Structure 1
Amino acid sequence: MKEKLLVGWKETLDLPELGIFGIEAKVDTGAASSVLHCNSYKIVNEDGHDWIHCELITNFETEETKVLKLKLYKSKLVKSSFGQEEKRYYIRTTAKLYDQVFSIKISFRNRSKMTYPMLLGKNFLYRRFLVDVSKENLSLKSPSK
């Protein structure tokens, strides 16, 4: 069995395929899926495929944004932390932590009123990571850095 990596309650990671580097994410074992802040998005069907056109912040210091066209993986109804059902749209991409690249499914939501622009949910954490809630940014403090 592969040894699990240790993460803290907050981690800084990269989403290289989206052009996002050094994003702070809150590790949330109560959330099923991972969520990324998106200023706005729309779903379009082109040539029989669903795509999400979304405006993402690619640099959180300068608030530089980029509009991306990403292939939808799936959509489903989920209950928000406030108990409201909403339709969420998911893509597949990669996340880089501990100098390793992992596949991740991400949904989009406006998180501008939240402290962290991203949540890492238990579907991403499962079988890969253990969480130490007394620590933060353990992946940045790893000796391989």
Structure 2
Amino acid sequence: MSSKIVLGWREAAALPALGLAAIRAKIDTGARSSALHVDSQWRFVEAGMPWVGFELTPGALGAGRVEARAPVHDERWVTDSGGHRSSRVFIRTVLSLAGIEREIEINLADRRGMRFPMLLGRTAVTGAFTVDPSRSFLHGRIRRRHPRV
């Protein structure tokens, strides 16, 4: 019997250190890394270390824009599902999902036009979770403040 928590192919996640209490996430075990949509990002130096600031709109939740900042963990080339390579900034932050909190690595990307502002790759879910691709939102949905128009 596995003690891993079962996730659906999409879930409501939180990134509390970034001020995101709820964000729609697609769980994608075919992707190695996780990605977070950002509308804009900028670099700066704090205490001699590289940091990144960014703005994002977490979705149609009526929450508006969120501005966050984090130390730059790494910068690497990433190949997206369309085969396009780009250099991306990676940060480390706490993911809260299904009652579990763990630090994960996330790259900041332009996911405009994608249905999910966050993609959780296999390195974020390995060890604690298993995924049932036939199910979704097993750990709660994000309630919209305003209905879709």
The 2-side partners of 1:125 and 1:61 are apart by: 25
Could you say which residue in structure 1 is the equivalent of 2:129? 129
Report the 3-state secondary structure (helix = DSSP H, G, I; strand = E; otherwise coil) of the residue aligned with 1:17: helix
Question: SS of the residue aligned with 1:31?
Answer: coil
**Preserved CA contact (<8 Å) 2:19 2:68:** no
Matches within 5 A, 1:32-47: 32-47=32-47
Cα deviations across residues 65-119 of structure 1 (Å, max 9, x unaligned)?
1322211111111111111211111111111112221111111111120011110
Q: Post-superposition shift, 1:57?
A: 2.3
Give the structure 2 partner of residue 62 of structure 1: 62
TM-score normalised by L of structure 1: 0.88
Q: Which runs of 4+ in 1 moved over 3 A?
A: none
Question: Structure 1's 119 and 62: CA in aligned 2 closer, same or farther, altered over 3 A?
Answer: same
TM-score normalized by structure 2? 0.86
The residue type paired with residue 104 of structure 2 is I
How far did residue 19 of structure 1 move? 0.9
Shift of the 129–105 alpha-carbon distance from structure 1 to 2, 3 Å rule, reads same
Q: Which residue type is aligned with residue 118 of structure 2?
A: M
AA aligned opposite 1:9: W
Q: Is the CA contact 1:19–1:58 (under 8 Å) kept in the aligned structure 2?
A: no
- For residue 24 of structure 2, what is the aligned residue in structure 1? 24
What does residue 11 of structure 1 align with?
Answer: 11
Give the number of equivalent residue pairs.
141
Shift of 1:56: 2.1
1:3 Cα offset (Å): 1.7
Rounded Cα–Cα distance in structure 1 between residues aligned with 2:9 and 2:126: 15
Q: Is residue 2:100 matched to residue 1:97?
A: no
User: Which residue does the alignment assign to 2:144?
Assistant: none
In the aligned structure 2, how far is the partner of 1:7 from the partner of 1:110? Answer: 25
Gaps of 5+ in 2: 142-149
1:53 has 2:53 as partner: yes
Distance 1:102 1:60 in 2: 26
Percent identity reads 34
Aligned partner letter, 1:54: F
- State how far apart, in whole Å, the 2-side matches of 1:23 and 1:17 are: 13
- 2:114 is paired with a residue of what secondary structure? coil
RMSD: 2.0
Question: What's the offset of the Cα at 1:43?
Answer: 2.2
